[in-house]
Amino acid sequence: MIPISQGRTRRATLAGAVCALLVAGTALTGCSEDPNEGTNGVGRLPADQIQSKAQKAAASVGTVRLHGTVETSGRAYTLDMRLKEQGGIGSVTAQGQTFRLLRVGQELFLKADAAFWGKGSGGGESDSKAADKLAAKYVKVPKDDPSYTKFIGFTDKNVLLSGLLTLHGELSTDGHHEQGGVRTVRVTGDDGAGGTLDVSLEGTPYPLRLVRAGEAGTLTFSAWGADFPLEKPSKDDTLDYGKQLPAS
């Protein structure tokens, strides 16, 4: 007959071994472990409250970097932008052309090569000269130009994030994950069809990764609260083309 104390010890050892096998074999945390232990605690909340806390965290800090793809109005854009309350700076790629955007206050500047401005597209010598003039300069975008309305949203932190950080449909949680070495909890809309949002479990519950509904792009967020310089380009590096930019 095995003494009671030895039996308890053997059962405890066996339970620990089973738990270790489950964790190692399936990457699950469980058994006696709390996956939210040592975190900011948002993983214990209902999905709608996690989304709300992520939205409030994003709104509460002045700066962020976002990188990834966005599809809007039938066109795909690849963004790498740093944003703050006063403006933003970064690069945008669309239809194989990459250009830089810079906004300071309400002034928007666009910088691109001659090909972006239409050189080599068969527009004639005058168009080619105009493209050369615009190339490699920060061109001030007139407020009446359609490009101003189209692109200024990519440089506006509040407008951009308020439109992005809302999932569609019924919200639920989809376990614990990792983004850039940071533990996250994932929230989904309609089991992923309405988008997914990874929220940091470490420190402030910032959003770290967003997959938009309808395969409309994936964005990652980083450098929350990290300041960066933002100023208008020098006069030598700026060109004011007038009331409307040439077609490109």
Query: Taking the alpha carbons of 24, 27, 32, 33 in that order, is the dihedral positive or negative?
Result: positive
Give the total number of structural domains in the chain.
Answer: 1
Band the pLDDT of 244: cuts 50, 70, 90: low
Each residue's pLDDT tens digit, 16-61: 444 444 444 444 444 557 889 999 999 999 999 999 999 999 999 9
- Report if residue 145 sits inside a domain: no
- Asked if pLDDT for residue 239 goes beyond 60, the answer is yes
Kindly state the percentage of the chain with pLDDT values over 90: 61
d(CA 35, CA 43): 8
Is 21 a member of any domain? yes
Query: What's the rounded Cα separation, in Å, for the pair 197 and 42?
Result: 13
Place of tokens 């405890």: 12
What range does the domain containing 22 cover? 1-33
**Least confident range of 137-141, 159-163, 199-203:** 159-163
> Rounded to an integer, what distance in angstroms lies between the CA atom of residue 116 and that of residue 31?
58
195 in any annotated domain: no
With respect to residue 121, please indicate whether it lies within any of the assigned structural domains. Answer: no
Confidence at residue 16, expressed as pLDDT on a 0 to 100 scale: 46
What's the farthest any 2 CA atoms get from each other in the chain?
Answer: 101
